[in-house]
């Protein structure tokens, strides 16, 4: 059986992990930088990408890595556990503590802005649980279109705080889709809704700043995970077996990236580069990390084998996991046109949406939208889950770069 | 006999080595010009916005530099490089051009002026003599424009001397578009203005860094609304105006606002 860290280790580990999460005002967000050599390499890659066809890049693989295979889910489950968002909620609470204790009504609402795939809504929900805050469900699309004010009946009449974790789900980029949101801002800013915390996706926030121009320097966001923080977090995400060291090793160079348990040494270049590539977005960084982990074919395990192996102890002292040197990102298909850009932009601005709504917002027919979405899905750029289409985590950086490069409105991160 | 000697003194004797040198210089220059005219637009079309326009605008400038360099290399091979000889040769050539190829020479000179003054560059959207389109080639004698109907029009540079040149974006990717709406005078103008503003704000083509403006003017036949906004890219202007018009009409109809169908003052109404 696999084992978690011992309780005392867990306690101290939890404390360390908690300090990794920090909420700061938007202006204090620091995008992690790259060492000069890596920055030059990144610029060269970007330049090559302008002239290269998409399918050339996707087929290029590191020769040595071709021999390695992806890890089975069961090993991934132990090597990269989902981050504990209650620690993030505690960090948010620390940032909101002063505001919660103050009795003035100058600032009845606090905004928490999160980048895509960084789970801002869940963090706000978990914070709300600590105060028994009333969670507000976003209005239905019909309510948004008709500006149905009955939605405001769902606000609590008591003095308890409320939370609205998904502000990006409360509007539509349509001439009839902004009324309810403006009404919400007016009521919330005036204090008519009481005290609450609103979570919003960074892309939706960028757009809403144009709809309801307001200066909110106090809006909070999760501080970027630079190399140091990311290395610590990835270490915490590993569920250790008591007597085994786990060594994450670069598949190209053979250098050790992380050794767990290990001494706090210099942050490996690979992790610094990963943090910079993800612009400090922890959710995306974890997705990349999971995607890059490899194993040698002869040690490949089936799920049952792996479980069996996990239950045996003391066989070896070190478990070696290879980390692919290449970021295998989905590339936008050849001939990505302005309509594809519209679809991707709409998905980001609304934090994902059902295909049936796209024709209402874009100058495209339903069939055209579906054709674009399916093409993007085949390329791995978008995915369909929970009834909505989303920009896939591994494709996010490419999509963001594409939209920014074409002068579309982008988030401030 | 003396005159013949004087002319012979101006020009150098053209031996085979010089002829080969001349031919090589001309051929290399021509190749270089062709290379620049193909490669730079190819690269530019893979970029976007300012970078694209900057690269496109460099093409005629580099070509002019190549031509001047070629000229500077060729002239000393053909004539003795003294001031007296230069004045004599260029004076004669200038006189011949002035009489025989006046319009051609005028366009060539205007082409050089255009590179300096930049009334139009590659990638600009211009209207010259009633023709509106995107400049896709600035040649030595003419510019070439592609219209919205995909017609390609050549216009001599000499239009600079007499015609007015309307440049919609002037080297920048921003280009203002205007969608017109003609409404029945009986309506809530405040609501209509806010709705049209939202129509622009929600258009997927909108470039957010530029302002949106709704201008309205009362006319004898109704109210004329002009919705002004900027698309993300200048090439989207026609689709952007169409999008504003389609969604603007739908939004105004939802408000129960009627459109003017025809000026009701026996044609005296001014629709502009």
DSSP string, B72-114: HHHHHHHB---HHHHHHHHHHHHHHHHHHSHHHHHHHHHHHHH
Name the pLDDT band for B177 (thresholds 50, 70, 90).
very high
Residue A247, Cβ density class (10 Å: 0-12 exposed, 13-18 middle, ≥19 buried):
middle
Q: Which residue of A has its CA nearest to B249?
A: A175
Q: Tell me chain B's radius of gyration from C-alpha atoms.
A: 27
Q: Which residue of B has its CA nearest to A337?
A: B236
Alpha-carbon gap, residue B107 to B113, rounded angstroms: 10
- Greatest Cα pair distance, chain A, in angstroms, is 65
Nearest Cα of chain B lies from the Cα of A95 at a distance, in angstroms, of 32
Say whether the peptide bond before residue A395 is cis (omega within 30 degrees of 0). no
- CB of A167 closer than 8 Å to CB of A208: yes
In the block, which residue shows the tokens 């960074």?
Answer: A202
Residues of B in CB contact (< 8 Å) with A are 46-49, 173, 195, 198-199, 201-202, 204, 207-208, 232-233, 236, 239, 242-243, 246-247, 250-251, 254
Sheet-wide strand order for A134-135: A23-25, A220-222, A109-114, A196-201, A162-164, A134-135
User: Where is pLDDT greater, at B40 or A46?
Assistant: B40
- CB of A327 closer than 8 Å to CB of B185: no
Q: What average pLDDT does the segment A176-203 reach?
A: 94
- Which pLDDT belongs to residue A370? 96
Residue B258's contacts (CB-CB under 8 Å, 6 or more residues apart) are: B183, B184, B186, B187
Name the pLDDT band for A177 (thresholds 50, 70, 90).
very high
Domains of chain A plus CATH, in order, are: 7-15+52-82+225-323 (no CATH), 108-217 (3.40.50), 338-405 (1.10.10.10)
Mutate to test the interface with A, among B204, B246, B252, B253 (most CBs of A within 10 A): B204
- CB of B243 closer than 8 Å to CB of A363: yes
User: Where is pLDDT greater, at A16 or A382?
Assistant: A382
The reply to whether residue A407 touches residue B49, judged by beta carbons under 8 angstroms, is yes
Alpha-carbon gap, residue A208 to A167, rounded angstroms: 10
Q: Which residue of B has its CA nearest to A172?
A: B202
Q: What average pLDDT does the segment A85-102 reach?
A: 91
Q: Is A103 on the interface with B (CB under 8 A)?
A: no
Element spanning A24, H or E: strand A23-25
In the block, which residue shows the tokens 């992790």?
Answer: A271
Alpha-carbon gap, residue A254 to A391, rounded angstroms: 33
pLDDT surpasses 70 at B172: yes
Residue A349's nearest CA partner among A189, A219, A167 is: A167
For chain A, the distance separating the N- and C-terminal CA atoms, rounded to the nearest angstrom, is: 42
- Which pLDDT belongs to residue A261? 77
Per residue in B66-93, pLDDT (tens digit) is: 988 998 888 888 887 778 877 887 788 7
pLDDT surpasses 60 at A306: no
- Which pLDDT belongs to residue A318? 74
Given B46, B199, B232, which is nearest A50 (Cβ)?
A: B46
Name the pLDDT band for A10 (thresholds 50, 70, 90).
very low
- Which pLDDT belongs to residue A258? 84
Per residue in B204-225, pLDDT (tens digit) is: 999 999 999 999 999 998 999 9
Element spanning A342, H or E: helix A338-349
Residues in chain A with CB shorter than 8 Å from the CB of B251 are 175-176
Element spanning A23, H or E: strand A23-25
Q: Tell me chain A's radius of gyration from C-alpha atoms.
A: 23
Q: Which residue of B has its CA nearest to A146?
A: B254
Residues in chain A with CB shorter than 8 Å from the CB of B195 are 175
Alpha carbon B161 to its chain centroid, in Å, reads 15
In the block, which residue shows the tokens 């040198």?
Answer: B21
Given B233, B251, B254, which is nearest A407 (Cβ)?
A: B233
Residue B107's contacts (CB-CB under 8 Å, 6 or more residues apart) are: B141, B142, B156, B157, B158
Residues in chain B with CB shorter than 8 Å from the CB of A401 are none
Q: What angle, rounded to 10 degrees, do the helices at A179-190 and A202-211 form?
A: 90
pLDDT surpasses 80 at A228: yes
Per residue in B100-153, pLDDT (tens digit) is: 778 888 888 888 888 888 899 988 999 999 999 999 989 888 999 999 999 999
Residues in chain A with CB shorter than 8 Å from the CB of B241 are none
Sheet-wide strand order for B152-156: B152-156, B142-147, B131-138, B125-128, B165-167
**What DSSP designation does A326 have?**
S
Per residue in A257-300, pLDDT (tens digit) is: 888 877 667 888 889 999 999 999 999 999 999 999 988 776 54
Alpha-carbon gap, residue A150 to B58, rounded angstroms: 59
Strand partners, A24: A221
Residue A249's contacts (CB-CB under 8 Å, 6 or more residues apart) are: A255, A256, A257, A320, A321, A322, A323
The reply to whether residue B204 touches residue A406, judged by beta carbons under 8 angstroms, is no
Backbone angles phi, psi at A123, to 5 degrees: -65, -45
The reply to whether residue B233 touches residue A409, judged by beta carbons under 8 angstroms, is no
Given A175, A407, A408, which is nearest B202 (Cβ)?
A: A175
Q: Is A335 on the interface with B (CB under 8 A)?
A: no
Residue B52's nearest CA partner among B167, B135, B114 is: B135
The reply to whether residue B233 touches residue A174, judged by beta carbons under 8 angstroms, is no
Nearest Cα of chain A lies from the Cα of B251 at a distance, in angstroms, of 7
Q: What average pLDDT does the segment B193-199 reach?
A: 96
Q: Which residue of A has its CA nearest to B246?
A: A363
- Which pLDDT belongs to residue A287? 94
Per residue in B8-30, pLDDT (tens digit) is: 667 777 788 888 989 999 999 99
> Which CB contacts under 8 angstroms, 24+ apart, belong to B263-266?
B263/B220, B263/B221, B264/B221, B265/B220, B265/B221
Residue B147's contacts (CB-CB under 8 Å, 6 or more residues apart) are: B131, B132, B133, B153
Alpha-carbon gap, residue A383 to A405, rounded angstroms: 23
Q: Which two tokens stand for residue A235?
A: 């270490």
The reply to whether residue A175 touches residue B251, judged by beta carbons under 8 angstroms, is yes
Domains of chain B plus CATH, in order, are: 1-170 (no CATH), 177-254 (3.30.70.100)
User: Where is pLDDT greater, at A309 or B127?
Assistant: B127
Residues in chain B with CB shorter than 8 Å from the CB of A174 are 202
Pairing of strands B152-156, B222-229: unpaired
Alpha-carbon gap, residue A374 to A372, rounded angstroms: 6
- Which pLDDT belongs to residue A241? 61
Q: Which two tokens stand for residue B88?
A: 């004599």
The reply to whether residue B202 touches residue A174, judged by beta carbons under 8 angstroms, is yes
Alpha-carbon gap, residue B142 to B152, rounded angstroms: 12
DSSP E strand boundaries for A116-266 = 134-135, 162-164, 196-201, 220-222, 245-250, 256-260
pLDDT surpasses 50 at A6: no
Name the pLDDT band for A360 (thresholds 50, 70, 90).
very high
SS3 of B222, please? Answer: strand
Alpha-carbon gap, residue B239 to A68, rounded angstroms: 49
Q: Is A182 on the interface with B (CB under 8 A)?
A: no
- Which pLDDT belongs to residue A8? 42
**Which ipTM did the prediction report?**
0.82
Strand partners, B214: B227
Mutate to test the interface with B, among A407, A408, A409 (most CBs of B within 10 A): A407
The reply to whether residue A405 touches residue B48, judged by beta carbons under 8 angstroms, is yes
Residues in chain B with CB shorter than 8 Å from the CB of A406 are 48-49, 232-233
Per residue in A115-132, pLDDT (tens digit) is: 999 999 999 999 999 999
Mutate to test the interface with B, among A175, A360, A362 (most CBs of B within 10 A): A175
- Which pLDDT belongs to residue B45? 80
Q: Is A367 on the interface with B (CB under 8 A)?
A: no
**What DSSP designation does A162 have?**
E
- CB of A353 closer than 8 Å to CB of A387: no
Q: What average pLDDT does the segment A201-222 reach?
A: 92
Q: How many A-B residue pairs are in contact by the CB < 8 A criterion?
A: 48
Residue B133, Cβ density class (10 Å: 0-12 exposed, 13-18 middle, ≥19 buried):
buried
pLDDT surpasses 90 at A240: no
Backbone angles phi, psi at B174, to 5 degrees: -80, 135
Given B199, B204, B232, which is nearest A175 (Cβ)?
A: B199
Q: Say what percent of chain B tops pLDDT 90.
A: 49
The reply to whether residue A173 touches residue B232, judged by beta carbons under 8 angstroms, is no
- Which pLDDT belongs to residue B81? 74
The reply to whether residue B204 touches residue A342, judged by beta carbons under 8 angstroms, is yes
The lowest-confidence range among A17-21, A156-160, A167-171, B234-238 is: A17-21
- CB of B204 closer than 8 Å to CB of B243: yes
Residue A37, Cβ density class (10 Å: 0-12 exposed, 13-18 middle, ≥19 buried):
exposed
Average pLDDT of every residue of chain A: 84
Mutate to test the interface with A, among B51, B232, B239, B252 (most CBs of A within 10 A): B232
Q: What average pLDDT does the segment A219-229 reach?
A: 93
């Amino acid at each position: 059986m696999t084992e978690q860290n011992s309780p005392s280790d867990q306690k101290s580990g939890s404390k360390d992990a908690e300090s990794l999460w920090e909420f700061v005002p938007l202006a204090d967000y620091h995008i992690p930088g790259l060492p000069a050599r890596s920055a030059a390499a990144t610029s060269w890659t970007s330049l090559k990408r302008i002239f290269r066809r998409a399918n050339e890049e996707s087929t290029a693989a590191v020769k040595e890595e071709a021999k390695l295979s992806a890890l089975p889910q069961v090993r991934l489950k132990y090597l990269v556990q989902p981050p504990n968002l209650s620690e993030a909620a505690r960090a948010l609470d620390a940032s909101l503590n002063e505001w919660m204790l103050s009795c003035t009504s100058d600032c009845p609402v606090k905004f928490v802005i999160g980048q895509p795939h960084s789970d801002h809504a869940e963090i706000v929900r978990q914070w709300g649980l600590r105060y028994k805050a009333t969670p507000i469900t976003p209005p239905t699309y019909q309510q948004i279109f008709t500006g149905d004010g009955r939605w405001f009946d769902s606000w609590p009449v008591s003095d308890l705080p409320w939370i609205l974790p998904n502000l990006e789900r409360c509007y539509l980029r349509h001439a009839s889709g902004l009324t309810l949101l403006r009404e919400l801002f007016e009521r919330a800013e005036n204090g008519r809704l009481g005290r609450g915390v609103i979570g919003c996706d960074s892309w939706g926030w960028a757009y809403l700043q144009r709809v309801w121009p307001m200066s909110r320097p106090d809006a909070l966001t999760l501080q970027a995970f630079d190399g140091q923080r990311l290395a610590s977090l990835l270490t915490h995400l590993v569920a250790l077996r008591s007597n085994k060291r786990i060594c994450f090793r670069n598949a190209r160079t053979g250098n050790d990236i992380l050794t767990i348990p290990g001494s706090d040494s210099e942050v490996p270049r690979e992790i610094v580069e990963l943090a910079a590539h993800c612009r400090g977005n922890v959710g995306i960084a974890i997705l990349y990390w999971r995607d890059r982990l490899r194993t040698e074919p002869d040690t490949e395990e089936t799920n049952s084998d792996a479980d069996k192996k996990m239950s045996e102890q003391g066989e070896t002292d070190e478990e070696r996991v290879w980390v692919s040197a290449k970021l295998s990102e989905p590339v936008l298909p050849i001939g990505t046109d302005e309509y594809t850009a519209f679809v991707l932009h709409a998905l980001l601005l609304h934090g994902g949406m059902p295909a049936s709504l796209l024709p209402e917002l874009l100058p495209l027919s339903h069939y055209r939208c579906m054709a674009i979405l399916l093409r993007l899905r085949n390329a791995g750029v978008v995915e369909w889950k929970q009834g909505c289409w989303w920009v896939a985590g591994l494709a996010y950086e490419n999509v963001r770069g594409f939209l920014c490069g074409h002068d579309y409105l982008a988030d401030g991160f | 006999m003396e005159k013949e000697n004087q002319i012979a003194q101006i020009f150098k004797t053209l031996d085979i080595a010089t002829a080969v040198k001349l031919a090589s210089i001309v051929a290399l220059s021509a190749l270089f010009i062709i290379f620049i005219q193909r490669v730079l637009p190819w690269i530019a079309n893979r970029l976007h916005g300012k970078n694209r326009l900057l690269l496109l605008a460099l093409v005629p400038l580099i070509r002019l530099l190549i031509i001047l360099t070629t000229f500077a290399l060729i002239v000393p091979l053909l004539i003795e490089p003294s001031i007296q000889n230069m004045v004599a040769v260029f004076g004669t050539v200038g006189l011949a051009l002035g009489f025989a190829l006046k319009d051609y020479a005028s366009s060539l000179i205007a082409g050089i002026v255009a590179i300096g003054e930049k009334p139009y560059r590659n990638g600009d959207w211009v209207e010259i003599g009633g023709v509106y389109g995107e400049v896709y080639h600035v040649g030595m004698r003419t510019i070439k424009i592609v219209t919205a109907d995909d017609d390609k029009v050549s216009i001599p540079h000499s239009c600079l001397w007499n015609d007015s040149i309307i440049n919609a974006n002037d080297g920048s990717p921003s280009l203002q578009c205007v969608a017109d709406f003609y409404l029945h005078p009986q309506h809530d103008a405040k609501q209509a203005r806010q709705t049209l503003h939202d129509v622009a704000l929600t258009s997927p083509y909108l470039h957010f860094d530029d302002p949106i403006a709704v201008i309205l003017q009362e006319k004898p036949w109704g109210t004329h609304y002009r919705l002004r906004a900027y698309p993300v890219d200048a090439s989207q202007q026609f689709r952007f105006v169409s999008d504003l018009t389609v969604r603007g009409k739908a939004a105004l109809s939802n408000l129960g606002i009627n459109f003017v169908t025809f000026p009701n003052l026996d044609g005296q109404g001014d629709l502009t």
